[in-house]
Structure 1
Amino acid sequence: MKRQLGILIVLCLMIVTFPNFSKAIKYNHNSKTIREIKHHVDFNVLVPKNVPDDWTLEIKTYPWEVKTNFTSFRLHYMDKNDEKMKISIEQTKEAEKQTEENNPYAKTVIINGHLGKLIKLGNDGEVDYKGEILNGGVLQWTQDGTNIELFSLTIPIEKMLEIARSIE
């Protein structure tokens, strides 16, 4: 009994000491939650584990007018002030969306053991009307029965790949 109590105390201390051990998602705009989405789609819902702590999340569901049985959704990760979208991660059931198989600008990448496509922005390095440097692109792959498309205008490709590879 003492041993079990000791283990419980150590686990509690770990959770308090290491806040990222059980990192909570910060939702915005009264968004649906990951848990709610899992109940309303017929495919695996995958979430990145490696996003900055100060980003917030809003989930957009499609079709817009339905309340249940969504065919797709997007995770919109916003900056801490909820002013700029950092990344968008769209998810659909496998085979419901085609990837950029024949795009001459698409580069093949490996994401979590799966073949994917990376398409860099054509205006890479330019500055947009808000003063942001454009250096993102699109990553597409299928993982665990879910088509995933990660998009960003401003996050560098290396960081996008890092986020993509943390999706589980």
Structure 2
Amino acid sequence: MTFLIRLLVILITLYCYPNIISAKAIKYNHNSKTISELKKEVNFTILTPTNIPNDWTLDTKTSLSPFITLHYMDSKDTKLMVGINQGLGFPLTKDDFPYAQQVDINGNKGYFQGWEESGEVDKNGDTITGGLLRWVQDGTYVEMSSSRLSKERMLEIARSMK
């Protein structure tokens, strides 16, 4: 009887284990550097979203400037879904973005500005949506852009950044 109880506990633990550790495996493309590799090269906290589809891939970019870019692509690796630029944080004010709407992102003041062409159809037949979202979190300046995701979806992703 004790054996059966132990076996049951082990089976339940193994069954639930993936749910206990819910870290997603990131699918990198284009021989991108990993987030771990990038963290060793910069002097700011790299934030990554947890609320993104499992089938998106990640293409990381670095430049001579102290910024990194995370490009999340669709499952076919053909469409940029959202780009996230990050660098060392600096104070932001409403004066910096006079035409932007102030939003809250994890207790931080953020500024969202939709695209001027929002609602129009681009050359590929896709409706332009989204815009630019900027904020500072944990000492990191974050600028998110998308022409495929709605403002609400961008905010969901932004609020999942850790």
Question: Which of structures 1 and 2 has the bigger CA Rg?
Answer: 2
Provide structure 2 residue ranges, at least 5 long, that are not aligned to the other structure: none
Q: Would you say the 8 A contact 1:99–1:140 is kept in 2? A: no
For 1:141, the aligned partner's letter is W
Give 2:26's aligned residue.
25
Give 2:58's aligned residue.
57
1:72 pairs with one of 67, 72, 93: 67
Residue-by-residue CA offset, 1:99-153 (whole Å, 9 max, x unaligned): 7734332010000100010001111110000111101101000000000001001
Q: The residue matched to 1:101 in structure 2 has which SS?
A: helix
Q: Would you say the 8 A contact 2:32–2:60 is kept in 1? A: yes
> Normalising by the residue count of structure 1, what TM-score does the alignment of the two structures yield?
0.84
For 2:125, the aligned partner's letter is G
Query: Size of the alignment, in residue pairs?
Result: 159
Matches within 5 A, 1:8-157: 10-16=12-18, 18=19, 21-63=22-64, 71-95=66-90, 101-157=95-151
Find the aligned partners of 1:61 and 1:163 in 2 and give their Cα distance: 21
1:15 Cα deviation after fit: 3.2
Find the aligned partners of 2:122 and 2:48 in 1 and give their Cα distance: 29
- What's the RMSD between the two structures over aligned residues? 2.6
Provide structure 1 residue ranges, at least 5 long, that are not aligned to the other structure: 64-69
> Normalising by the residue count of structure 2, what TM-score does the alignment of the two structures yield?
0.87
User: Quick one: structure 1 residues 116 and 15, their matched pair in 2 at CA, closer, same or farther if it must change by over 3 Å?
Assistant: same
Q: Would you say the 8 A contact 2:44–2:88 is kept in 1? A: yes
Find the aligned partners of 1:73 and 1:7 in 2 and give their Cα distance: 45
1:50 Cα deviation after fit: 0.2
Q: The residue matched to 2:44 in structure 1 has which SS?
A: coil
Find the aligned partners of 2:103 and 2:21 in 1 and give their Cα distance: 28
Find the aligned partners of 1:75 and 1:59 in 2 and give their Cα distance: 5
